[in-house]
Amino acid sequence: MCILNGMSAVKRRSRRGRATSRNSERTRGLLLQAAFEEMYRSGFRSADLDAILAAAGVTKGALYYHFDDKEALGYAVLDEVMTSDLHQKWVQPLQNAKDPIDALVRIVQSESLKRKDVRRGCPLINLSQEMSGLDEGFRRRTARLFRDWHDAVAGALRDGQKRGLVRNDIDANETATFLIATYEGYVVLTKNSQDARTMQSGQRRVRGHLESLRPARGRTRGAGRG
């Protein structure tokens, strides 16, 4: 009986430990998501910790249990939330894509034209512009995200070249840089103009350029008009 009671106690402690671990992970996740939204809305330097705590529904003690300071919280937002978002939107759809041009067109066309998103722009560009010249930790992390993005596009283009789906006379690395710069340029202009038509025009132009990357026999007639 003593052994059985002891085993039961161990199981209870194990269950409590798992529950505590889940709650801790949930709290951390709530803080990261609330911090992302506050940083996206206000920028990192103007982000209000009290607003983050209120949105997450946790105490200041919980914040400092998981993160040493505001900077550590900001780094984690980049490393986890923004990295995950970038990989879901750009990296994963391009991995083993049946046709990389089609995949890139779908991604570009999926850009949100909702008023809220037009007003706020791209969180990666916003944070990079705000913090890259001020904090090396932010600069390294945003540079890594841009590199992941570039490598995903360039890799998909090279794969398309091997399979005869992308012109062999283009440089995949240079083309990836051009596409990202053009796409993000339109996002910035759209944020500045507060007019979704700017992004719609950009989507048509970027799609036209993407179609031009196909071998002549595979191009879509009339792509990029408008």
Q: What percent of the chain is predicted at pLDDT more than 90?
A: 82
Phi-psi group of 21: left, alpha or beta (phi > 0 → left; psi -120 to 50 → alpha; rest → beta): alpha
Instruction: Identify the pLDDT of residue 219.
Output: 55
Report pLDDT for 7. 40
Specify whether the CB–CB gap between 203 and 109 falls below 8 A.
yes
Whole-angstrom distance, CA of residue 25 vs CA of residue 31 = 10
Higher-confidence residue: 24 or 143?
143
Instruction: Give mean pLDDT, residues 170-192.
Output: 97
How far is CA 11 from each of CA 5, 22, 25, rounded to the nearest angstrom?
10, 16, 21
**Alpha-carbon gap, residue 126 to 191, rounded angstroms:** 10
Instruction: Give the pLDDT of residue 223.
Output: 44
| pLDDT-derived band at 220, boundaries 50, 70, 90 | low
3-state secondary structure of 175: helix
Determine contact, residues 39/81, Cβ cutoff 8 Å. Answer: no
Contact present, 27 and 66 (Cβ < 8 Å) = yes
Task: State yes or no: pLDDT of 116 exceeds 50.
Answer: yes
pTM value is 0.83
Question: Does the pLDDT at position 202 exceed 70?
Answer: yes
Instruction: Locate 51 and state its tokens.
Output: 């607003």
Averaged confidence pLDDT in the chain: 89
Question: What's the rounded Cα separation, in Å, for the pair 143 and 69?
Answer: 22
Instruction: For residue 107, give the amino acid letter.
Output: I
Q: Is the pLDDT of residue 12 over 80?
A: no
